[in-house]
Amino acid sequence: MIKTTQVCRKALIALGVSLAVFASASIDAANQKNDLPEIGVVASGAISLDKEMQIGDVLMRQLRGQAPIINDPLLDEYIQDLGNRLVAQADNVKFPFEFFLLNNPAINAFAFFGGHVGVHTGLIYNAKNESELASVLAHEVSHVTQRHIARSIEARQKSSPLQLASALGGILLALASPEAGIAAISAGSAASAQASINYTRQNEKEADSIGIRILAQSGFDPNAAGEFFGTLVEKYRLTSRPPAFLLTHPLPESRVADARTRAASYQRNQVPESLSFHLAKSRILARYYATPEYNINYFETSLERGSYAFKAASEYGLALAYLANEENQKAQKLIDNLLVNDPRNLFYLDTYTDIALATGRTEDAIEKLTAQATLTPRNRVITLNLANALVKNKQYDLAVRILKDYLLIAPDNMLAHQILTDAYTESKNKLEMHQTKAEVYALAASYPRAIDELHHAYNYAGAQNIEKQRIRARIEQFREYQTRLESL
Point out the annotated binding site for Zn(2+). Answer: 139, 143, 204
Cβ distance 418 to 391 under 8 Å? Answer: no
Q: Which residues are annotated as a binding site?
A: 139, 143, 204
Name 203's Cβ contacts closer than 8 Å, sequence gap at least 6: 143, 146, 148, 151, 152
Phi, psi (degrees; rounded to nearest 5) at 40: -60, -25
CA atoms within 13 A on the CB side of 196: 13
- Annotated active-site residue 140? The verdict is yes
Out of 52, 72, 130, 140, the active site residue is 140
Out of 52, 130, 132, 208, the active site residue is 208
Distances (CA, A) of 137 to 78, 130, 185, 250: 13, 11, 25, 16
- Please give the full DSSP string across 92-143, using - where no structure is assigned: S--S--EEEEE---SS-EEEETTTEEEEEHHHHHH-SSHHHHHHHHHHHHHH
- Please give the full DSSP string across 47-90, using - where no structure is assigned: PPHHHHHHHHHHHHHHHHHHS-BB--HHHHHHHHHHHHHHHTT-
Cβ distance 485 to 447 under 8 Å? Answer: yes
Give me the helices (H) in 265-379, please: 275-288, 292-305, 311-324, 328-341, 346-358, 362-375
For residue 141, give the nearest of 82, 97, 77, 76 by alpha carbon.
97
Total Cβ atoms within 10 A of residue 479: 15
- Annotated active-site residue 208? The verdict is yes
**Burial label, 192 (beta-carbon count in 10 A; 0-12, 13-18, 19+):** exposed
SS3 469: helix
Instruction: Report the catalytic residues.
Output: 140, 208
